[in-house]
Amino acid sequence: MKWQSVDTRKGTRCRVLEGGSGAPLVFFHSAGGLLADNPFLDRLAQGYHVFAPEWPGYGDSTGEDLLEDMLDFALHGWDLIDALGLRRPHVVGHSMGGMIAAEMACLAPRDLGKLVLAAPAGLWDDAHPIPDIFALLPFQLAEVLFHDPQRGQGLLTGGADLADIEALKEFYLASQRRLAQAGKILFPIPNRRLSKRLYRLEAESLLVWGVSDRLIIPAYAKRWQALVPNARVETIDGAGHMLPYEQPEAFSKVVQAFLG
Amino acid sequence: MKFTWFNLMPWPYLPDQFREKHRSVWVDIPNTLYDPRKGHHVYHTYLDQLEYADALGFDGIGCNEHHQNGYGLMPSPNIIAATLTRRTSRAAICVIGNSIAGYNPPIRVAEEFAMLDVMSGGRLIAGFPVGTPMDTNFCYGQIPALTRDKYREAHDMIMKAWASDEPFAFDGKYNQLRWVNCWPKPIQKPHPPIYIPGGGSIETWDFCLDHDYNYSYLSFFGYLRGKSLLDGYWERVARRGKDESPYRAAFAQIICVADTDAEAEKLYAEHCLYFFNRCLHIFPPFADPAGYRTMATVKYGALSQLTQARQKILENLTWKQLIDERFVIAGSPETVRQQLEECIKGLRIGHLFCLFHNGDMPDWKTRHSSRLFAEKVMPRLRDMWPEWKHDDRWWMHPMDERIRPEERRPGAEKAREEWPR
């Protein structure tokens, strides 16, 4: 996989991790951004031409001030696909990326291939309030996100030594910038009324959930299914909310089996 | 020099071991700790104190807005201020202020502040804070990264509403109103003095200087720690080519006066420690949601702002530390005068927000301290800025012919014959 950079017509500049060959597949990352190690993308690249853009406000991608609300985010997704010159790609979205992917598919239901939503955000159930990710202590984050929080902590920091004050500072600044941007569609409650629009989905859809997801618990899969009647549901053992990173092999296998 | 008597209105019944038992005094404090029957008593004690401060000769009396907060019982400071317009007649009423990014629509603030200015005869000082992240983001649900943009829009609507003599349409990003028509309008023209309470963000300094508003640094950590921040502000003032009037700036300071230094410790130490140990116990993530501070400010302050460090300081505070670091200025009238002179000169401030009621301090101690200050300290600090004596740009301009509420008991009527012309 290699990095490239694309400019959208709106004026953002986005870094995109690209690799593989086959049918085009776009992966939209979660609120925490693309982690340093993402072996699931390498695996997917064995069967597809994979594009994993970083959202404005993440990594080297800029233009975050141009995106303020859900519609801006969803149209940006399509702008990116246009800028990359793709036609009817499969769209895979994780968590916040799943929320955006679903919104995109409601706006332009015939412009994508198949749709994969991995533990997507975007719905709210009063019976299962989602923990407030904007009000967590640093060590609490891994506990909420991973089946194995200790290993998860390492995945989150990408091996950076946070005892080093400069590394800590850099990590803190980048994470503040990412979550500031994510807050525009996730704060204070990650629900921008997607449920009213999901009836428009036409793409064949798969919902994938980690069995030990403590952020958006697997009960949410049922809610999604009620709103997207034809969606298939797969669950993955030994994985929490960060299922693509925690179980890359199982995750890519499930996705490949669905996309064909 | 102007002195404003400020009450945060803390809840005085927070339990012992509050820090150990609860994670935060703010946002998710268990509301079972609040007892409305005791609350009735607490409100009236605090309101009496504000009225007493007016009688003692303080220039202003002040209140502010906090939500879901164990040290602030004023989700609506305007309700507090409204009662003060009736039972005081002299002091400025400083509402510092309304967190305007959280009001929908913000015209409500233009209306309520106008009501207060009219009811008080032009004694309102209007504060427009961005609002703490606890209040504005976590309690009132505003998106952190958009809070400042929404704040600026709300400010523009309010100021235009006060200035305009005709209805106008406001097509904002966050607020659309087809008919903005402020009614009533404030007495003070072009508008009541505007104070912007802020921390250390450069954007706030420029905002104050763009509009010539007062910049108020409301810290609880004393003038020694406030110095570098105010120095930054004054550098900015100089760089922008503005005059150096000390009335451009205000500072909040906890003050305790007794007959002697030893007596001050005996009377006030436990209550100040209650304030620092219990009232400032805030779950750190509530104080710093991503996006609330601009990236420029985050980079400027970076890790020094990480609030866990601040929470550590609060864990084992002693009276000696409070005094040595000047979080609290306490002692005999002479000690307090000396230290305040250093504070006022050092920070170059024309307005001091004086915090006399602290934590769970009982009424009599609060009054004792306030009275000693008013009689023995305040007169000797009055003339700190003789060369700016006539600068009233940041102070109220009330009507001369103000009226007092009349007795309306049956048989005691003094009915007014006609409406004034």
Q: What is the pLDDT of residue B284?
A: 92
Q: What is the pLDDT of residue B234?
A: 97
Q: Assign A243 a pLDDT band (cuts: 50, 70, 90).
A: very high
CA of A145, closest CA in chain B: separation in Å?
17
The total of other beta-carbon atoms located within 10 Å of residue B4's CB is 23
Q: Please report residues of A whose CB lies closer than 8 A to that of B143.
A: 183-184, 187-188
Beta strand extents in B16-123 (DSSP E only): 60-63, 92-95
Given a contact cutoff of 8 angstroms between Cβ atoms, the answer to whether B106 and B100 are in contact is yes
Residues composing chain A: 260
pLDDT reading at A84 higher than 70: yes
The pair of three-digit structure tokens given for residue B261, joined into one six-digit string: 């230094």
Number of domains in chain B: 1
Q: Assign B295 a pLDDT band (cuts: 50, 70, 90).
A: confident
Q: What is the pLDDT of residue B202?
A: 75
pLDDT reading at B178 higher than 60: yes
Q: Is B394 within the bounds of a domain?
A: no
DSSP letters spanning B42-64: HHHHHHHHHHHHHHHT-SEEEE-
Given a contact cutoff of 8 angstroms between Cβ atoms, the answer to whether A25 and A44 are in contact is yes
How far apart CA B146 and CA A180 sit, in angstroms, is 9
Phi-psi category of A33—alpha, beta or left, where left has phi over 0 and alpha has psi -120 to 50?
left
Does the reported pTM lie above 0.90?
yes
Q: What is the pLDDT of residue A80?
A: 98
Helix/strand/coil for B94 = strand
Q: What is the pLDDT of residue B310?
A: 61
Cβ contact B145–A183 (<8 Å): yes
Exposed, middle or buried, B203 (CB in 10 Å: 0-12/13-18/19+)?
middle
pLDDT reading at A72 higher than 80: yes
**Mean pLDDT in residue range A27-35:** 97
Q: Assign A231 a pLDDT band (cuts: 50, 70, 90).
A: very high
Please tell me which of the candidates B145, B284, B299 has its beta carbon nearest to residue A137.
B284
Q: What is the pLDDT of residue B25?
A: 97
Beta strand extents in B242-338 (DSSP E only): 249-257, 328-331
Q: Is B224 within the bounds of a domain?
A: yes
pLDDT reading at A30 higher than 50: yes
How far apart CA B42 and CA B28 sit, in angstroms, is 21
Q: What is the pLDDT of residue B306?
A: 47
The pair of three-digit structure tokens given for residue B358, joined into one six-digit string: 């602290």
Q: What is the pLDDT of residue B308?
A: 56
Cβ contact B144–A181 (<8 Å): no
CA-closest candidate to residue A218, choices A120, A72, A104 = A120
Is B151 at the interface with chain A, CB within 8 A? no
Q: What is the pLDDT of residue B305?
A: 47
SS (H, E, C) A10-53: CCCEEEEEEECCCEEEEEECCCCCCCCCCHHHHHHHCCEEEEEE
pLDDT in tens, B48-58: 999 999 999 99
CA-closest candidate to residue B26, choices B274, B221, B357, B279 = B279
pLDDT in tens, A41-63: 999 999 999 999 999 999 999 99
> The sheet that has A48-53: what strands, in order across it?
A2-7, A13-19, A48-53, A23-28, A90-94, A115-118, A205-210, A232-236
| Boundaries of every domain in chain A | 2-259
Better-predicted residue by pLDDT, B344 or B412 = B344
**Mean pLDDT in residue range B178-199:** 96
Q: Is B411 within the bounds of a domain?
A: no
Residue of B nearest to A167 (CA): B303
Domain of B170, in residue numbers: 2-388
| Most B CBs within 10 Å, among A176, A179, A186, A189, to test the B interface | A176
Q: Assign B203 a pLDDT band (cuts: 50, 70, 90).
A: confident
pLDDT in tens, B258-289: 999 999 999 999 999 999 999 999 999 999 99
CATH value at residue B345:
3.20.20.30
**Mean pLDDT in residue range B376-397:** 97
Q: Assign B303 a pLDDT band (cuts: 50, 70, 90).
A: low
The verdict on domain A2-259 having CATH code 3.40.50.1820 is yes
pLDDT in tens, B227-254: 999 999 999 999 999 999 999 999 999 9
**Mean pLDDT in residue range B299-306:** 58
The total of other beta-carbon atoms located within 10 Å of residue B235's CB is 11
Q: Is B262 within the bounds of a domain?
A: yes
Is B145 at the interface with chain A, CB within 8 A? yes
Q: Is B23 within the bounds of a domain?
A: yes
Contacts of A122 (CB under 8 A, 6+ apart): A98, A99, A102, A103, A190, A191, A192, A194, A195
How far apart CA B255 and CA B370 sit, in angstroms, is 9
CA-closest candidate to residue B67, choices B129, B145, B4 = B129
pLDDT reading at B413 higher than 80: no
Q: Please report residues of B whose CB lies closer than 8 A to that of A175.
A: 290
**Mean pLDDT in residue range A88-106:** 98
pLDDT in tens, B87-122: 999 999 999 999 999 999 999 999 999 999 999 999
Percent of chain B at pLDDT exceeding 70: 96
**Mean pLDDT in residue range A184-207:** 97
Helix (H) or strand (E) holding A234: strand A232-236
Q: What is the mean pLDDT of chain A?
A: 96
Given a contact cutoff of 8 angstroms between Cβ atoms, the answer to whether B247 and B388 are in contact is yes
